[in-house]
Amino acid sequence: MDTESLCAELRELLSEVIGVSGALIATGDGMLIAAECEDSLHAESIAALAAATSGVGAQFAYLMRLGELGGTVVQGNKGCVAVHPIGENAILVLYGNDGPNVARLHLAVRQALPRVEAALMAYQR
């Protein structure tokens, strides 16, 4: 499976989930794997920031004795972004720019994770 297949999976996800305007998959160290977002010029920067966000979130969860990191959400007054680990060394990033709706974003992540994880495993083979 090539990156185009991963992008197709992300496009399908975006067409199915209301309120999510962009999605990308990155490695745990911030290298972009696949992206479907309006501004693809910033996808590599988003991937790098997602890795940093995931690292800080994992350390915060450890310090607070919250268990293994399930995800990190950044919320602004114009939208929010969710950063979730996929397996051992990948990250799924979903974001919406239509106002802060964290509940909708969490639902989108729960729906997307199994499919994206399966597509990523096929890509890595």
Output the domain CATH number for residue 38.
Answer: 3.30.450.30
pLDDT interval class at 100 (50, 70, 90): low
Average pLDDT, the chain: 86
pLDDT interval class at 28 (50, 70, 90): very high
What pLDDT is recorded for position 49? 96
What pLDDT is recorded for position 98? 75
What pLDDT is recorded for position 17? 77
Give the chain's domain count. 1
Cα–Cα distance, 78 to 90 (Å, whole number): 27
Which three-class secondary structure state does DSSP give residue 108? helix
* Structural domain for 72, as ranges: 3-124
What pLDDT is recorded for position 47? 95
What pLDDT is recorded for position 77? 87
pLDDT in tens, 31-52: 999 999 876 668 999 999 999 9
Whole-prediction pTM value? 0.86
What pLDDT is recorded for position 113? 83
Packed helices 3-16 and 102-124: angle between N→C axes, nearest 10 degrees: 160
Edge-first strand listing for the sheet containing 32-36: 32-36, 22-27, 90-96, 79-86, 72-76
Which three-class secondary structure state does DSSP give residue 85? strand
Residue 96: Cβ within 10 Å count: 22
Give percent above pLDDT 70 in the chain: 94
